[in-house]
Structure 1
Amino acid sequence: MDLKQIKSLIKVVYQYRIDEIKIQIGETTIYIKNKISQLVEKNNNKEQYYSVSDSEEQFNEQNGYFTIRSPMIGTFYRRSNPNQDPFVKKGDNIKIGTKICIIEAMKLFNDIESEVSGKIVKIFVEDSTPVDYNQPLFLIKINN
């Protein structure tokens, strides 16, 4: 299961208020528990836990906010080179598909695009710093 499929599944669980779901594909098992806002992924007997903190819960889709998270481990860059302006700044209005940052992983530079249209409310990560998988990058106030 790829990251886009997992994100879509999480959105469905959240949208329809499903309390818990378990999916097993080959050696990978994914658990999503909505009530405690926690995603647990088991792969080759290793477990990874991803939680939404209490402060983030006040900024959820029901309240008109969306958190863009890192799809991978790597180094976060707000601009393509140090002499250029950042792709986006706090207060910018963005559309779906707008390039918002780059994450470098294993010498590959991956463009990260917005999944929603809205206004950037907060940037959680400093330029040129390491990020973990699923780490919050941007908080977006969704356009209605």
Structure 2
Amino acid sequence: MKLKEIQNLIKFVANSGASEVKLEMDDVKITIKTTSEDKVNTVVQQIPMGQMQQAAAQPAAPVQEAPASNTTTENTADDSKYITVKSPIIGTFYRKPSPDKPTFVEVGDTIKEGDVLCIIEAMKLFNEIESEVSGKIVKVLVDDTSPVEFDQPLFLVDPS
């Protein structure tokens, strides 16, 4: 099962109101649990052929959200012309492929569709997050090595 299919399944379950969904296919076992706080926990297990290996997964720690700050209408109007790149999964946000390498993108960089923007680690799997839009990075909204939630804004991109 591809990452995009898993992401779409998570969105579907989150919007459906179901509290838990389990899906088993040949070599993949997926469990998606939602809580009353509209948080979604997803467990994906790869089962090697010929072995039934059980991997225990701990749910991601909830992120403390900062209280909404008072912003001027100028900032809101300025941000509305930008495209927000959001996290497709829950995990840990990394701006670099490894600690000794440079960041994937910086503020001011021009990106095109398919460029890798960051990595999100979920259960020891490192998922490259690719841009779905072309434009210029205006703002990075998440600190390196921070936990991120599903659908959390990561970058602001100016499409012009």
Counterparts of residues 32-47 of structure 1 (less than 5 Å): 42-44=17-19, 46=35
Displacement of 1:3 after TM fit?
3.5
Q: Highest CA radius of gyration, 1 or 2?
A: 2
Instruction: Structure 1: give runs of 5+ residues left out of the alignment.
Output: 8-24, 31-40
Are positions 1:125 and 2:100 aligned together? no
Are positions 1:101 and 2:76 aligned together? no
Cα shift readout 1:78-137 (whole Å, capped 9, x = no counterpart): 011111110000000000110000000000000000110000000011111111111110
Quote the Cα distance in structure 1 between the aligned partners of 2:146 and 2:14: 31
What TM-score does the superposition give when structure 1 sets the normalisation length? 0.63
Q: How many residues align?
A: 108
Instruction: Structure 2: give runs of 5+ residues left out of the alignment.
Output: 20-33, 40-67
- Identical pairs, percent: 46
Aligned to 1:88: 105
Aligned to 1:38: none
What is the RMSD of the two structures over their aligned residues, measured on CA atoms? 2.9
Distance 1:73 1:5, change over 3 A: closer
Task: Pick the structure with more strand per residue.
Answer: 1
- Where 1:122 maps in the other structure, the secondary structure is strand
Question: What is the one-letter code of the residue matched to 1:42?
Answer: G
Counterparts of residues 6-85 of structure 1 (less than 5 Å): 28=13, 30=15, 42-44=17-19, 46=35, 48=38, 58=77, 59-60=79-80, 63=81, 65-85=82-102
Aligned to 2:22: none
What TM-score does the superposition give when structure 2 sets the normalisation length? 0.57
Quote the Cα distance in structure 1 between the aligned partners of 2:14 and 2:8: 16
Distance 1:110 1:97, change over 3 A: same
Quote the Cα distance in structure 1 between the aligned partners of 2:126 and 2:14: 29
Aligned to 1:135: 152
